[in-house]
Structure 1
């Protein structure tokens, strides 16, 4: 069997994970675009998906998202320009900056969270709540194992 055929008939974890991520992102970003967030892109999720409502340091966003600090900094600059976040002095360390969501950013975060809740509910309905919970629990364990290995 050719490699391509095998990858189609029995895709590995990387391919399956990638396909799932792309599918989820596509639905979220298409829906958000119709809700007034048409300039928001999947790459911006590396910031807003991990951003605390009261703000987060860029180093924390990099750690949570698995992205380099330089990538996060570039994305934050883009999100500032788009009106989703702003930089503010960190009240705990005036030398540091917090990335804080604006009203537009908070709206995107709230809508995105609601979309993921809805997608998870639909997936659980499709495969059964117990099966879905087992899948999600196992997937969490696998991610934790990989994170510990790194």
Structure 2
């Protein structure tokens, strides 16, 4: 069996994970665009998916998302220009800045949560709630194991 055929019929974990990620991102960002958030790209998720409503430091966003600080900084610049976040002084550290969602950013975050919840509910209905709960438990365990193996 050729490698490309095997990848189609029995894809490895990396291929399956990327297929799932790209399909969810496509649905999420297409739906957000229809709801008025037309300028966002999947890359912006490295900030918006990890941003606390009360604000987060850029270094924390980089750590949570697994992206380099420079990448996160560029995404923050883009999101600030689009009106999704703003930089504010961190009351806990005068030298640091907090990245805080604007009203538009909070709207996007709320809509994203709802869209992703619907996607998950749809999958749970398709395979059954118990199977889906077990899938998520196992998937989380695999992710944690993979991350621990790299540290």
Which residue is equivalent to 1:45?
45
Report the alpha carbon displacement of residue 148 of structure 1 after superposing the two structures with TM.
Answer: 1.2
Q: Secondary structure of 2:22's partner? A: helix
Which residue is equivalent to 1:130?
130
Which deviations, in whole Å up to 9, do the C-alpha atoms of 1:30-68 show, x marking residues without a partner? 000000100011000000000000000000000000000
Distance 1:122 1:9 in 2: 24
Matched, 1:67 2:71: no
Q: Structure 2 length normalisation: TM-score?
A: 0.98
Which residue is equivalent to 1:142?
142
Report the alpha carbon displacement of residue 120 of structure 1 after superposing the two structures with TM.
Answer: 0.5
Distance 1:9 1:122 in 2: 24
* Unmatched 5+ stretches in structure 2: none
Which deviations, in whole Å up to 9, do the C-alpha atoms of 1:77-109 show, x marking residues without a partner? 000000000000100001000000000000000
Q: Secondary structure of 2:50's partner? A: coil
Which residue is equivalent to 2:102?
102
Q: Secondary structure of 2:87's partner? A: strand
Q: Secondary structure of 1:89's partner? A: strand
Which residue is equivalent to 1:78?
78
Distance 1:32 1:4 in 2: 34
What RMSD, in angstroms, separates the aligned Cα atoms of the two structures?
0.5
Q: Structure 1 length normalisation: TM-score?
A: 0.99
Which residue is equivalent to 1:112?
112
Q: Secondary structure of 2:99's partner? A: strand
Q: How does 1:20-59 map to 2 (within 5 A)?
A: 20-59=20-59
Q: Give the number of aligned pairs.
A: 150
Distance 2:61 2:139 in 1: 22
Report the alpha carbon displacement of residue 147 of structure 1 after superposing the two structures with TM.
Answer: 1.4
* Unmatched 5+ stretches in structure 1: none
